[in-house]
Amino acid sequence: MQTLKLIIIFFVSVLIFSLITYMKTLSAAGSPDLTVAYPLSFSPSTVQPGGSITVTWTEKNIGYGGAGSYRVGVYLGVSEYGVEYLLGSFQRSGLPAGASSTYTATLTIPSSVPAGQYYVVVWIDDTQVVAESNENNNRGSSTPNKVTILPPPKLTVTVKHADNSPASGAKVCAGSTCGYADSQGSITFTLPKGTYTVNAEKSYYVSGTTITYRGQATITLDSDKSITLTVMPTQGCFILRKFSLD
């Protein structure tokens, strides 16, 4: 009797498992399966934050059902399929079963991305709104190729008076980023690539009067650069410097 019960339990278990497998097969038969086809390409291979990268990829639906609307994200990954840094995203209206579409996009590298080497990863349906027969093949990678992100360029500004003496302590601003010059009149900024208006200002107090020296320059920063700004008095007069005779 006990043996008969065990046999019945066994066959019932097999039947339930078979039914579950069959239902999954029926469901998958009409489900989409979104994926990113190999290869995924990009250029250039080296770029600085603030620079651009152009990526080309193909989206495919290898399932038996059409996919509704979904989002595609383009990322930089530390690992082969990593998605640490989002470069941009695109909304799609859908993709029929068996269909594919190729896209090219130019994206800006955010200043928040540290220098290093990264895989370019395209994640189709990255918000995971489409129910698919396979949810584990939605990411495409640029492997074995990586993009190299260089450190952002540095701008060194040296502030001097008309007599070539350093304007130590001068306030210097490159765009909205400001700081104060050291004892040699110099300051270094780390900035994204771009065009900046650089302003320098130093005030002196003489006999109760404030005399302000200013200088300005506009520069395009696409690599490390050094400039010298000469500050002149805005009131049309010069400060007499103190000196002693031995």
The string of DSSP codes covering 21-32 is: HHHHHHHHHT--
Q: What is the pLDDT, as a whole number, of residue 22?
A: 42
Token representation of residue 163: 């007599």
Token representation of residue 83: 């998605």
What band does 27 get if pLDDT is binned at 50, 70 and 90? very low
Q: Is 22 exposed, middle or buried (0-12, 13-18, 19+ CB in 10 A)?
A: exposed
Range 12-28 average pLDDT? 51
pTM: 0.67
Token representation of residue 53: 């990268």
**Do 117 and 144 contact (CB within 8 A), yes or no?**
no
Q: Read off the DSSP letter of residue 95.
A: B
Token representation of residue 203: 């005030």
What band does 23 get if pLDDT is binned at 50, 70 and 90? very low
Share of the chain above pLDDT 70, in %: 83
Q: What is the pLDDT, as a whole number, of residue 1?
A: 59
